[in-house]
Structures are given as structure tokens and as C-alpha cells.
Amino acid sequence: MKSATATKTAKIGGGVLAASVVLGFVISLLGSSLKNTVQVYFLPMADSFGQQRGTFALATTAFAITYAVAAPLTGALADRLGPGRVLLIGTVSAGCAFLLCALVPSFAVFVAAYGFLAAFAYTMLSYVPLGVLVDRLFSEKRKGFFYALLTNGTAAGFILLVPLWTWLDGRTSWNSVLIGLGVLLLCVITPLTALRFRGEAKPAASVSAAGERPSIASALKTSTFARLAGAFFACGATMAFIDVHLMPFMGDMHVHTDLSATSVILLGLFEIGGSLVAGKLCDRGLVKNVLIGGYLMRAASMFLISVSTSGFAVILFGCVFGLSYLVTVVATSLWVLKAFPVEVKGTVMGFIWTAHQIGAALSSQFGAYTRDSTGSYLLEIVVTGGLAVLSVGLIAGMPAPDRKLATT
């Protein structure tokens, strides 16, 4: 029989885990608004600064490039300081970024505020520190599910926040929306995060069979890293279409706003279901199969929208892309958590996201300029769909991950 002290400790531990999950989800949700507000208000923001789409896309491109640089730095901080402290810094940075973006007087200053500060904040509130947090809190058999659960704040953003921003468009200014988000983060979320993660402990170090502590340099030289990063480049390229160009594309194709909003909501709903199923399957050792399936669905959805924007096609696109949206993220992250040692997991995951964001930056700018020059997003859609097909080949040629340091 367990002692009263042991029972009390177990209850406290369970309460801490529950608080971590809830807070992590809320942080992920609010962090997603750093991207989905610009997604919805892309054209009003561009018009307010008197810029064309291609020029205004410099802000989203700078965001993606900064994320590419910040991701490994954030991972290294999470490895050394702990993911909780990184999340705390991120909530403060995000609140300040929202306020600055809402109040800046010129487009150049907006690019600096959004493209740099907001990007750093988003990096510290999303996949990399949340992955390290899950790795430290949960057992191997539960990491996939809970990582999917925490990162589903992005999906909830599609379901809850995108329709809210759409409804507010015309009723209030985008500046007011950003100010409200900034105040919420600084006055509510930051104190809660500081309270939850005070006194965060560091994990025990690991050593190789030769008695050497693993290094990030050796991890980055493996083919495991190279192939995962190459495939994740395509993930970023396709996600940039959703984050930056989907709503303008729907407008160009004269898709009714109710239909496009429904597609986005379905994308979020299927994102939640797909990611949770993917997390469960990854926990059962099917990481490779899940990742291949995610890239196949991604390619199929992009090719679908390239040939038809009928009501049925738009709805089906939202469902299929939604199923794949976080599947690639969850499976790639779990692959890293299984294949690399504790000292470098966050940093490796950060470099994986660097590849992702390079793809996103190139796709963001490529899509904007091809739209301005050709009047269509077709080339952007076909190219990014093709990259998803190439990713299938990269992953198919890899051995399934194990829980030891990748050496090949």
C-alpha cells in the first residue's frame, strides 16, 4: 500500500502535469496569433501601409528568416535553461511585439517589429520549447500524444481565432486586435507562466558508449538530421502557402468568404484529429510510416487545389491538408526526440526548424512575387506540392528511429 506522503506527491505531480498541459496549450494558442492575425489581415495591413502584396510580404519573409536563425538558439536555451524559462521569455517578447506592431508609424518599422521581435517570440512559444518540455515531463509511451496535444494550439487558432479575426475585420481595426493580444499576454499569461515554471529543474546528462558526452556538431553531421531537415524544408514551403497566401488565393479565385472560412475551420478540426492520431501512432513505434503518410497527404492536397477551386474541392482541401498539417511536425519532432541525446535534442530540433523556415521564407516571397508577376498562385502551389513528393523519397530511404544517438 502506498504511504500518504507518496499519494500526496503523486497527486501534486499529476496536478503539475495538468497545469503544464493546460498552460502549454494556451501559450501555443496565443503564440499562433502572431501568425494568423497577419494571415487574416494581410491585405488590410498592406493597404494601411500603402504597400503591394509582394512588398508587404517582406515582413512575413523576414519573420520566416528570423525564425530560421532563432530556432536553434531557442533550442539551445531550452536545453540549458529549461523550456519553461524559454516560454516565459517568449510571452514577454510576444506581448511587446504585438504592441509595437500595432503602434508603429511606418512600414519599415513594422517589418523590424514583426519580422524580428515577433518572430523570436513565436519561436519561443511554439514547437521547439514545447517539444523539450514534453520530452522532460512524459514517458516514451506518452510523448507523441501530449506533444500533439500541446502544439494543437495552432489548430485551435484556425478554429477559434481565424473566424474571430475575420468577424472583427470591418468592426474594429487590426491595430486594436493586436493591442488586445499584447495586453493579454503581458498582464495574464506572463505571470501564470512565471508562477508555473519557477525553480525548473534540469535533466540528468547522458554519455555515449565511449564515455563521451554527445555534441551538437556530431548530431548535425548525421544523415538522419540531413534527411529530416531536407524533408522539413518542404513542410515549411507548403505551410507558408497556408499562413500567408491561402486567404488571398481564395479571394483571387472568387471563393465566397463563408466557404473559405469553413475550409479553414475544417483544416483546424482535422489538424487536431490528425495530430492526435499521429501522436498515438508514433508512441506505438510507427514514426516513419506516419511521416511518409503526412507528406503524401500534403502533396495530394496541394495538387487538388491547383486543379479545382469548386466548393467540394475547397472543402476537401481543408480536410486533407488539415490531416497532414501537424502530422509532419509531430512525427519529425518525435523522430528527433527518439534519435538524439538529451543534451542536444532542443538544439537539433531547432536546426530542423531552421530548414523548415528557410522553406517558408522562400515560399512566402516566391508566392507573392509570382502572384504579382503572373496574376496567379498556380506556380507556387505546384512547386510546393512537388517538394512534398520529394520529401516522401527522403524519408522512405531512412531506417526507422530508435532511442539511441543517431550515428548514420
CA-nearest of 291, 297, 264 to 278 is 291
Question: Would the pLDDT of 231 be above 70?
Answer: yes
Residue 59 lies in a domain: yes
Q: Number of folded domains in the chain?
A: 1
Residue 210 lies in a domain: no
Q: Worst-scoring range by mean pLDDT, 1-10, 18-27, 398-407?
A: 1-10
Mean pLDDT, the chain, rounded, equals 87
Give the per-residue pLDDT at 202.
62
Q: How far is CA 161 from CA 33, 39, 74, 177, in A?
A: 7, 11, 26, 11
Distance CA 142, CA 188 (A): 29
Note whether 38 and 114 are within 8 A (CB).
yes
Residue ranges of alpha helices (H) inside 241-377 are 246-252, 257-283, 287-307, 311-325, 327-339, 345-374
Note whether 266 and 158 are within 8 A (CB).
no
Q: How confident is the model at residue 205 (pLDDT cuts 50, 70, 90)?
A: low
Note the pTM of the prediction, 2 decimals. Answer: 0.79
Q: How far is CA 360 from CA 10, 100, 189, 200, 380, in A?
A: 43, 24, 28, 33, 12
Give the per-residue pLDDT at 114.
95
The model's pLDDT over 168-187, given as tens digits with 9 standing for 90+, comes to: 888 889 999 999 999 999 99
Residue 2 lies in a domain: no
Q: What is the CATH number of the domain that holds 224?
A: 1.20.1250.20
Give the per-residue pLDDT at 408.
55
Residue 8 lies in a domain: no
Residue 3 lies in a domain: no
Domain that holds residue 256: 23-199+215-396
Residue 169, φ and ψ in degrees, nearest 5: -60, 120
The model's pLDDT over 364-406, given as tens digits with 9 standing for 90+, comes to: 888 888 998 998 999 999 999 999 999 999 999 999 886 554 5
Residue 120 lies in a domain: yes
The model's pLDDT over 298-341, given as tens digits with 9 standing for 90+, comes to: 999 999 999 999 999 999 999 999 999 899 999 999 999 988 88
Sorted by sequence, the CB contacts under 8 Å of residue 6 that are 6+ apart come out as none
Residue 208 lies in a domain: no
Question: Would the pLDDT of 157 be above 50?
Answer: yes
Residue 405 lies in a domain: no
Work out the percent of the chain whose per-residue pLDDT is above 90. Answer: 52
